[in-house]
Amino acid sequence: MALELTGKVALITGAASGIGRETARLFARQGAHIVAADRNLAPTEEIAAEIRKTGRNALALQVEISDEAQVQAMVERAVREMGGIDILVAAAAVPFANYGEGKGNRWLLVEQPLEDWRRVMTINLDGTFLTDRHVARAMIDADKGGRIINIASGAAIVASVRGGAYSVSKAGVWMLTKTLALELARYNITANAIAPGFIETPMTEHIRGHEPTATAVLNTIPMRRFGKPYDIAATALFLASEEGAYYTGQLMHPNGGVLIP
């Protein structure tokens, strides 16, 4: 399989780090031009500069995906400066409200402050919806088809204590993806989601950095290792390529076997 993206334009949110950053690198190596978007501009500009050194075009944009005006402006600028959007990888997300701040029962749903719940939902679900919607509109207007790839999570189908808001938000992303797949199929636009397991990204640093917790998690993974961002980027590459053209409404599971029944 060639898995080539030569000449395609890929918009990747959450491109400053982790899965989004690695996806931007991999897509560029396979021939795509990249619109890298993230709320943190400096590292987004770094990855765009890195990609430009390979001879691909790259545009770095600062965007808060929960703000529809910013999302619309992001898409309009991508279309204007890059000529359109062929592929979207919506990877921007937060694990919990105030990630890295505070511990204890505030993560239990019966104790969680409403503002924390709303922040997770606003970014993970609303933000993905807004990004998908505005990119889909641009793809429909261009009449060339397209690929929408949402980064969900294994947490979308397996509940966990202290991770309720995240799980619910990612379950929503999965249903959003399926609904879009039905609505957009007639435009030759596919919509798929990826449900990563435990991946070596900043989002899992609190797990990997605590040896007892890391060991307990590794014991649940048949392959006995954490995934790499490349594992998820490679799955996205397949879905974005011609080889993945007949996949839509699917949830892919690169997780080392953690969800084997």
Tell me if 48 sits within 8 A of 95, measured CB to CB. Answer: no
Q: For the chain, what is the total number of helices (H) and then of strands (E)?
A: 9, 7
User: pLDDT tens digit string along 188-239?
Assistant: 999 999 999 878 777 766 667 667 666 766 777 777 777 788 999 999 999 9
Residue 31 sits in a domain of what CATH number?
3.40.50.720
Q: How much is the pTM?
A: 0.92
Q: Tokens 């399989």 appear where?
A: 1
For residues 119 and 197, give the distance between their C-alpha atoms in angstroms, rounded to a whole number: 23
Q: Is residue 203 part of a domain?
A: yes
Q: Which of 55-64, 140-149, 220-229 has the lowest mean pLDDT?
A: 220-229
Domain count, the chain: 1
Q: Is residue 206 part of a domain?
A: yes
* Helix pair 127-142, 164-184: axis angle to 10 deg: 20
Question: Does residue 100 surpass a pLDDT of 50?
Answer: no
Our measurement of the distance from residue 230's CA atom to the centroid of its chain's CA atoms, rounded to an integer in Å, reads: 13
- pLDDT band for 31, please (50, 70, 90 cuts): very high
Which residue among 166, 187, 230, 247 is the active-site one?
166
Q: Tokens 């989002």 appear where?
A: 203
Our measurement of the distance from residue 95's CA atom to the centroid of its chain's CA atoms, rounded to an integer in Å, reads: 12
Q: Is residue 225 part of a domain?
A: yes
For residue 202 the two structure tokens come to: 């900043």
166 given a catalytic annotation? yes
User: pLDDT tens digit string along 102-124?
Assistant: 455 677 889 889 999 999 999 99
- pLDDT band for 39, please (50, 70, 90 cuts): very high
Q: Is residue 70 part of a domain?
A: yes
Residue 220 is part of which domain span? 9-252
For residue 85 the two structure tokens come to: 């959007």
Q: Is residue 261 part of a domain?
A: no
Q: Is residue 257 part of a domain?
A: no
